[in-house]
Structure 1
Amino acid sequence: MSQRRVWLVTGASSGFGQAVSEVALSQGETVVATARKPTDLDDLAAQYPDNILVVKCDVTKPDDVLSAFASATQKYGRVDVVFNNAGCAIVGEIEATPEDAARALFDVNFWGAVAVSNEAVRVFRDANPKNVGGRLLNVSSGLGFGGGPILGIYSASKHAVEGFTESLRLELNPAWNIKVSIIGPGAFKTSAHTTGTTVFPVPKAYEGEGLPSEAVRQWFADGSGDKP
């Protein structure tokens, strides 16, 4: 049997991070599951006690990112796949989004993704056994391809992730055997779009029935959770 791969998943406690962790674990892979609140992963850790390492990691804190990778390499000797997924969302017209909130979102969605990507590349190249390399999966969004009403700041952060990831891919020496991919899912209701979302009130100038922003706000507000 081939050696099981070691995954490092950011934002593993919910949404795509949780789903990918569960699938990898169910296939006998090893997962280093990171979250800001490790206790959110207690159920998953109890289900797969031999295949999972839970690590606290806030991607906006560089020391947390370094510590997560260090924990992975110390326990398993390598990291094969990084699912760079941690994120959050803002719902609100661009005019109505406070600058501090927009900057905080970029700290998670963009700068957090950059920090994880940089350490992933270093580990793949310098810490993994020779010629093993690795695969970096940076999670973007369909909104990384084009904008959407009341999602302008979120969309901008994902455009930034796409440009960064494509540039990073082109910089890497092929001899390092590092593969980099962008994942751009469409509309799924994960916690990034429910409990992980900050919603700002509609400015009076943007009120009106039938506006595109109204339908998007309803999509976030209806709580269906499993339908686009």
Structure 2
Amino acid sequence: MSKVWFITGASSGFGRLTAEICLKNGDAVVATLRKPEVLDDLKAQYPATRLLVLKLDVKNAQEITDAFSRAKEVFGRLDVVLNNAGTGFVGEIESTPDHMARSVVETDFWGAANVSREAVKFFREVNKPVGGRLLTVGSFGGLTALMCAGYYAAAKHAIEGFTETLAQELDPDWNIKVTLIEPGWFATAAVTGKATVLPAHPAYTKPGLPVIAVRSALENLNDPNNKFGDAEKAAHKFYELASLSDPPLRLILDIEKYEAWSSDLL
């Protein structure tokens, strides 16, 4: 049976790739993003009965509620919510202006948290008793420290704790399955595109400081010599995950430390 997916951050990367995979496999997709015109090419390929593109900035709680309401009007149900929207930049904690720090936390934590809450409510009240699947894209930055991305790491650590707690709180009778997807380095626009880089804080420029090497690496992620995982293959894992009868709480995907484990996980 085909599924109906609700995807945030569908403009590029894992969001766009997963949307394309879903559509190619006969599923319907509610693709949400801040600039809907980015998906005009995809809209031209699929009818409105298969693809609904909605403007959504996850920092706006009302827009989240409205998007779920519109999805209900058009499709009557949602089977999978891919909580994927995110943002970040390169800069030491002390070099980060308050407004930029808050924007990352608003998107990567509060945005993801509010989408999760709406998804659970939808699955419980609209999809009863079928439930649904909530897939939240975390990061290895939510499992460990990440120099020059401190507020990103803080937001990702927060969504880790939030999502694990949410999964424990849910009534099993609702049949809602929750998974945190933990990608390592994959060739998405967020990784290989031109990063927003803040000027180095003068207190962190002493030669030999580890933060200098990390900053340099993050500033040059688009170097063609870098080895990244295939983002499309990872997106296929997202798609397969939605069909597991007993999905894991965490799906760790990384071409280095977890390569063997990830290859046969599904």
The alignment's TM-score, normalised by the length of structure 1, stands at 0.92
TM-score by length of 2: 0.79
Q: Which residue of 2 aligns with 1:6?
A: 4
Corresponding residue for residue 171 of structure 2: 173
Letter in 1 for 2:218: F
Whole-Å separation in 2 of the counterparts to 1:196 and 1:55: 26
* Structure 1 equivalent of residue 31 of structure 2: 33
Counterpart-to-counterpart distance in 1, 2:79 and 2:23:
14
| CA drift at 1:210 | 4.9
Residues of 1 paired with 2:38 and 2:195: CA distance? 18
Deviation at 1:98, TM superposition (A): 1.7
The separation in 2 between residues aligned to 1:62 and 1:203, in whole angstroms, is 34
Give the unaligned 5+ runs of structure 1: none
Give 2:160's aligned residue. Answer: 162
The amino acid that maps onto 2:36 is: P
2:211 corresponds to:
213
Deviations 1:101-132 (A, max 9, x none): 1111110000001110010001000012x311
Residue segments in structure 2 that go unaligned for 5+ positions in a row = 229-266
Question: Alignment length, in residue pairs?
Answer: 225
Matching residue of 1:113: 112
Q: Report the residue type matching 1:181 in the other structure.
A: T
Alignment of 1:72-87 (within 5 A): 72-87=71-86
* Amino acid across the alignment from 1:122: K
Give the deviation of 1:158 after TM superposition.
0.3
2:72 maps to 1:69 = no
Query: Given that residues 90 and 153 in structure 1 are in contact (C-alpha distance below 8 angstroms), is that contact kept between their aligned partners in structure 2?
Result: no
Give the letter for the 2:8 counterpart.
T
Please give the alpha-carbon distance, in whole angstroms, between the structure 1 residues aligned to 2:214 and 2:17. 24
Letter in 1 for 2:69: A
Quick one: distance in 2 between partners of 1:29 and 1:95? 45
Once the two structures are superposed, what CA deviation does each residue of 1:184-222 show, in whole Å capped at 9, x if it has no partner? 101224333466843211112212455433343333333
Measured in 1, the distance between the counterparts of 2:57 and 2:191 equals 19
* Residues 166-198 of structure 1, C-alpha deviations (whole Å, 9 max, x = no match): 000011000000001101101224333466843
After superposing the two structures, state which structure 1 stretch, 84-93 or 213-222, moved more. 213-222
CA distance in 1, matches of 2:167, 2:143: 18
- Give the letter for the 2:96 counterpart: T
Label 1:216 to 1:43 Cα distance change in 2 as closer, same or farther (>3 A).
Answer: farther
Deviations for 1:55-105, whole angstroms, at most 9, x for unmatched residues?
Answer: 111111111101111111111110000000100002111111122211111
Select between 97-106 and 164-173 the one with higher mean Cα deviation. Answer: 97-106
**Mean CA deviation greater in 45-54 or 130-139:** 45-54
C-alpha contact (below 8 Å) 1:90/1:198 kept by paired residues: yes
| Structure 1 vs Structure 2 CA RMSD | 1.8
Greater shift after overlay, 59-68 or 207-216? 207-216
Alpha-carbon spacing, 1:207–1:189, altered in 2? closer, same or farther (3 Å): farther
1:150 equivalent in structure 2: 148
